[in-house]
Amino acid sequence: MNGLVLIDKPLDCTSHDIVLGLRKILSEPHIGHFGTLDPMASGLLVAALGKAARFFPFFSKENKSYEGRIRLGQATDTYDAQGTALAAPTRELPDEAVLRRAMAKYFGQIQQVPPPFSAKKFQGKPFYKIARSGGEPPRVPSPVFIHGFELVAYDPPDADIKVTCSAGTYIRSLAHDLGRDLGCGGHLTRLRRTRCGGYSVEQALTIEQVRELAASGRAESAVIPLEALLTDFRRVDLTESDSRLARNGRSLPLEEGPAGPYQSPGPSDLDKGEPVFMRMFNPEGRLIALAKWDAGLKTLHPFLVLE
**Tens digits of per-residue pLDDT, 175-186?**
999 999 999 999
Residue 144 pLDDT: 96
d(CA 292, CA 295): 9
Do 241 and 120 have their domain in common? Answer: no
Task: Note if 160 is an active site residue.
Answer: no
By residue range, what is the domain housing residue 86? 64-196
d(CA 40, CA 13): 8
Q: Residue 121 — very low, low, confident or very high, per pLDDT cuts 50/70/90?
A: low
Residue 136 pLDDT: 72
Contact 19, 42 (CB under 8 A): no
Q: Which of 8, 17, 38, 242 is catalytic?
A: 38
In this predicted model, what pLDDT tens digit does every residue of 186-244 receive, in sequence order? 999 999 999 999 999 999 999 999 999 999 999 999 999 999 999 989 899 999 999 99
Under 8 Å CB-to-CB from 216, ≥6 apart: which residues?
Answer: none
Do 215 and 98 have their domain in common? Answer: no
For the cut 60, the answer to whether the pLDDT of residue 20 exceeds it is: yes
Do 40 and 148 have their domain in common? Answer: no
The residue-averaged pLDDT of 127-146 equals: 75
Contact 182, 105 (CB under 8 A): no
Do 47 and 93 have their domain in common? Answer: no
Do 8 and 132 have their domain in common? Answer: no
In this predicted model, what pLDDT tens digit does every residue of 283-303 receive, in sequence order? 999 999 999 988 777 788 999
In this predicted model, what pLDDT tens digit does every residue of 25-60 receive, in sequence order? 999 999 999 988 989 999 999 999 999 999 999 998
Do 31 and 127 have their domain in common? Answer: no
Q: How many domains does the chain have?
A: 3
Do 52 and 71 have their domain in common? Answer: no
Helices 171-182 & 96-104 angle (0-180, nearest 10)? 120
For residue 15, with 0-12 CB atoms within 10 Å meaning exposed, 13-18 middle and 19 or more buried, which class applies? buried
Do 11 and 117 have their domain in common? Answer: no
d(CA 40, CA 38): 5
Phi, psi angle pair for 207, to nearest 5°: -65, -30
Do 138 and 76 have their domain in common? Answer: yes
d(CA 150, CA 264): 40
Residue 264 pLDDT: 46
Do 212 and 286 have their domain in common? Answer: no
CATH of the domain at 254: 2.30.130.10
CATH of the domain at 21: 3.30.2350.10
Question: Alpha helices of the chain — where are they, by DSSP H?
Answer: 15-26, 56-59, 96-104, 127-132, 171-182, 207-215, 240-247
Do 283 and 300 have their domain in common? Answer: yes
Under 8 Å CB-to-CB from 95, ≥6 apart: which residues?
Answer: none
d(CA 292, CA 25): 36
Peptide bond into 89 cis (omega under 30): no
Q: Which of 64, 66, 1 is nearest to 31 (CA)?
A: 1
When the pLDDT of each residue in the chain is averaged and rounded to a whole number, the result is 89
Under 8 Å CB-to-CB from 89, ≥6 apart: which residues?
Answer: 73, 74, 157, 185
Do 170 and 264 have their domain in common? Answer: no
Residue 150 pLDDT: 98
Residues β-bridged to residue 126: 121
